[in-house]
Amino acid sequence: MAFERVCSLDDLWQGEMENFEVSGTEVLLIHLDDGSIHAIQSICPHQEVELVNGSLEGKVLTCSMHLWQFDVSSGEGINPTHAEVAKYPVRVDGEDIFVDTKGIEPKFTLA
Amino acid sequence: MALLERNEWYDIARDTNWTPTYVSQENLFPPTMSDPYQIPIDEWETFDEPYKVSFREYVRTQREKDGSAYSVKAALSRSRFYDQACEGWASVLKLHYGTVALTEYQACQFQARMVRFGPSPSMRNMATFGMLDEMRHAQLQLFFPHELVHRDRQYDWAHEAAHTNNWAVIGGRHAMDDIMMCRDAVTGSLMVSFAFETGLTNLQMIGLSTDAANMGDFTFSNLITSIQSDEARHAQLGTPTIEIMVRNGYKEDAQKILDIAFWRVWRLFSVSVGIPMDYYIPLEQRHMSFKEFMHEWVNRQYVRQVEDLGLAKPWYWQHFLDDIENHHHCQQGGIWSWRPTVWWNPPGAVGPKERQWLEKKYPGWNDSYGTYWDVITENLLADREEKTHPECVPIICNMCQIPISNRPGKAWKARPYQFEHEGRRYNFCTEPCRWIFTTDPNRYKDHETIVDRMYSGEIQPPDLDGVLKYMGIGVVSEGGRDGYNYQWIEGFRSAAAE
């Protein structure tokens, strides 16, 4: 395991998402309203557009470009269902958020 | 009564198919309009587009998108943006609207052919949304430039270009007739939905919207984003069709179809996207070079997608990589030199700083394309503007309809690729354009280029004025001039003075 400190809880409020570079990998860090924190690949598996420009409602992230939707808690596609975003393990230790990107590659999907 | 969730009824509603009893299947779906491969109907019924939408959802989302695009336009219409926008950016807009607006209506007709003749019920369902999408795109891109017509008559080409025989329009029409208007539903879905939309234009829209935002043109940026957001649905008409063809033994046909379409669209794409990115957009606002854009976005994604489908990249990949280095630089020189023939004011815009940038992005530019601009710059500095207008007639490619040219300078790679067929000699710009002709000579043999039309007597009188009028110049609006009134040479004058 290679957890790396990314930021503190103060840097990412509930309902917010932001891109971070973790060990050379772009990661989208998302703090959901339910308090859980998720790290997923920063680009859409469709045409590699930055997901951070999309909109977040509950745990559903909608890409700004073609409205593809993902459940950020599981990484699974909602529409289309055959798509999927890579998830990176997250650990919260006190006020600090840690992410491990080792051995995980972004996913791409045909459409 | 509670509504069912989409996934509880979607498949059965979408897959509902005809069982003809009064007419034969072949009469209902003639192979020449529908599926020339005659793949069995139960194979077509496996067609599954991944991104799903119900009509109710479609209408709600589209209404929101339209509301947003029109309100941004209304809110910004009082800004002075278009009064102050430089002619380089205006050229991007005029070129875009003139070549795209009514092509969207053609795309609407193409989608309508899939709605009627698509062999799969899911394909017909998805094409229905595609047809409505394209209609929306045409209407938006006619309406937005309309308010600019009173400022500048050249914006009228948004509506008029497709009705003229301007040389640039003939090129676009030849390609769109080939891949979109005159193909069966199956072939067309590969050519348009996959090679054209997924392969090239979807990605171009992402770049164009970024460029517009960098320029401060938020109306246009928002318009392009709004249009682009529709593409996830109808661009996916290609992939399931390719999968079904490959599974049923038509892999080689699918490969050939994609290779023809990708090259046809590339030749136009490079002119309409490459020139704006590397010449029209002012240096300070360029976010990447066209070559970087092609390598970072288009090439990698296209190769990944065709390989995922079990196909290969086009046989002409090396020619294509070479064309990325050359084609749009050639055409910037050509379009600028023949500027009275186009409906925008192309900026030469190759001052000292721009040339430094071009040399950095395209090593060797100064020794090749630079030599062409050296002569022009020298003439302009010596007040010999008239010498910057060529008096010769170019040779036009009998496939892409674009003047035949290639790298100038020491390399001097310009030459026609020829083919004799039924006593007529055809000239092509490149090996792939010639190859496309040989795949179906009967399809292409009767077409005449703009220059053929001068020699055949169709254009009368066959002189510059006659040709300009034939092309709509002076009829729809005045033709082009240098967008910056030659201001870009001033850097050389001051350098010489020092």
The pLDDT of residue B190:
97
CA atoms of B29 and B27, how far apart (whole Å): 5
Nearest residue of A to residue B238, measured between CA atoms: A111
CA atoms of B67 and B62, how far apart (whole Å): 8
- Determine, for residues B232 and A109 on separate chains, whether the beta-carbon distance falls below 8 Å: no
Task: Tell me the mean pLDDT in the region A91-97.
Answer: 96
Q: Residue B7, exposed/middle/buried by CB under 10 A (0-12, 13-18, 19+)?
A: exposed
Q: Which residues contact B315 (CB under 8 A, 6 or more apart)?
A: B259
Q: Residue B190, exposed/middle/buried by CB under 10 A (0-12, 13-18, 19+)?
A: buried
Amino acid identity, position A104:
I
Query: Which range marks the domain in which residue B202 is found?
Result: 41-497
B356-391 as b/e, with b when 16 or more CB fall inside 10 Å? ebbeeebeebbebbbebbeebbebbeeeeeeebeee
A102 touches chain B (CB under 8 A): no
**Contact between residue A46 and residue B232 where contact means Cβ atoms under 8 Å apart:** yes
Q: Is residue A62 part of a domain?
A: yes
CA atoms of B330 and B369, how far apart (whole Å): 8
DSSP H helices, B338-482, are: 352-361, 369-381, 431-439, 441-444, 450-456, 464-470
Tens place of pLDDT for every residue, chain B, 498 residues? 678 888 889 988 888 888 899 999 999 999 999 999 999 999 999 999 888 899 999 999 999 999 999 999 998 888 889 888 999 999 999 999 999 999 999 999 999 999 999 999 999 999 999 999 999 999 999 999 999 999 999 999 999 999 999 999 999 999 999 999 999 999 999 999 999 999 998 888 888 998 999 999 999 999 999 999 888 678 889 999 999 999 999 999 999 999 999 999 999 999 999 999 999 999 999 989 999 999 998 999 999 999 999 999 999 999 999 999 999 999 999 999 999 999 999 999 999 999 999 999 999 999 999 999 999 999 999 999 999 999 888 999 999 999 999 999 888 888 999 999 999 999 999 999 999 999 999 999 999 999 999 999 999 998 889 999 999 999 999 999 999 999 999 999 988 777
- Determine, for residues B202 and A80 on separate chains, whether the beta-carbon distance falls below 8 Å: no
Q: Is residue B32 part of a domain?
A: no
Q: Which residues pair with A19 in a beta bridge?
A: A28
> Is residue A111's pLDDT more than 80?
no
Q: How far is B229 from chain A (nearest CA, A)?
A: 4
Q: Is residue A53 part of a domain?
A: yes
Q: Is residue A107 part of a domain?
A: no
Relative to beta strand B417-421, strand A77-79 is: unpaired
pTM of the model: 0.93
Q: Is residue B4 part of a domain?
A: no
B224 touches chain A (CB under 8 A): no
From chain A, the residues in CB contact with B235 under 8 A are 111
**Contact between residue B104 and residue B177 where contact means Cβ atoms under 8 Å apart:** no
Q: How far is A64 from chain B (nearest CA, A)?
A: 8
Q: Is residue B19 part of a domain?
A: no
Task: Say if residue B461 is preceded by a cis peptide, omega within 30 of 0.
Answer: yes
A82 touches chain B (CB under 8 A): yes
B205-217 as b/e, with b when 16 or more CB fall inside 10 Å? bbbbbbbbbbbeb
Q: Which residues pair with A79 in a beta bridge?
A: A69
Q: What CATH number does the domain containing B405 carry?
A: 1.10.620.20
CA atoms of B211 and B229, how far apart (whole Å): 17
End-to-end CA distance of chain B: give it in Å, rounded.
83
Q: CA of B303: how far to CAs of A60, B50, B343, B393, B466, in Å?
A: 30, 20, 35, 38, 45
Q: Which residues contact B42 (CB under 8 A, 6 or more apart)?
A: none
B225 touches chain A (CB under 8 A): yes
Q: What CATH number does the domain containing A84 carry?
A: 2.102.10.10
Relative to beta strand A87-88, strand A77-79 is: unpaired
Q: Which residues contact B171 (CB under 8 A, 6 or more apart)?
A: B267, B268, B400, B401, B402
Residue of B293, B287, B362, B294 lying closest to B330 (CA atoms): B362
Q: Is residue B23 part of a domain?
A: no
Q: Is residue B15 part of a domain?
A: no
Q: Is residue B21 part of a domain?
A: no
- Determine, for residues B235 and A111 on separate chains, whether the beta-carbon distance falls below 8 Å: yes
Plot region of B457 (φ>0 → left; ψ -120 to 50 → alpha; else → beta): left
CA atoms of B117 and B471, how far apart (whole Å): 35
Please state the domain count of chain B. Answer: 1
Relative to beta strand A4-8, strand A77-79 is: unpaired
Relative to beta strand A87-88, strand A96-99 is: unpaired
CA angle in degrees (0–180, nearest 5) for A98-A103-A104: 75
Q: How far is B232 from chain A (nearest CA, A)?
A: 5
Please state the domain count of chain A. Answer: 1
Q: Is residue B11 part of a domain?
A: no
Q: Is residue A110 part of a domain?
A: no
C-alpha dihedral over B153, B158, B161, B162, to 10 degrees? -160
**Longest Cα pair distance anywhere in chain A, in angstroms?**
41
Residue of B225, B53, B69, B29 lying closest to B129 (CA atoms): B53
The pLDDT of residue A1:
60
Q: Which residue has the tokens 């205006």?
A: B90
Q: Is residue B90 part of a domain?
A: yes
- Determine, for residues B232 and A111 on separate chains, whether the beta-carbon distance falls below 8 Å: yes
Q: Residue B469, exposed/middle/buried by CB under 10 A (0-12, 13-18, 19+)?
A: middle
A92 touches chain B (CB under 8 A): no
The pLDDT of residue A47:
87
The radius of gyration computed from the CA coordinates of chain A, to the nearest angstrom, equals 13
> Is residue A110's pLDDT more than 90?
no
CA atoms of B363 and B228, how far apart (whole Å): 33
Residue of A91, A109, A105 lying closest to A27 (CA atoms): A105
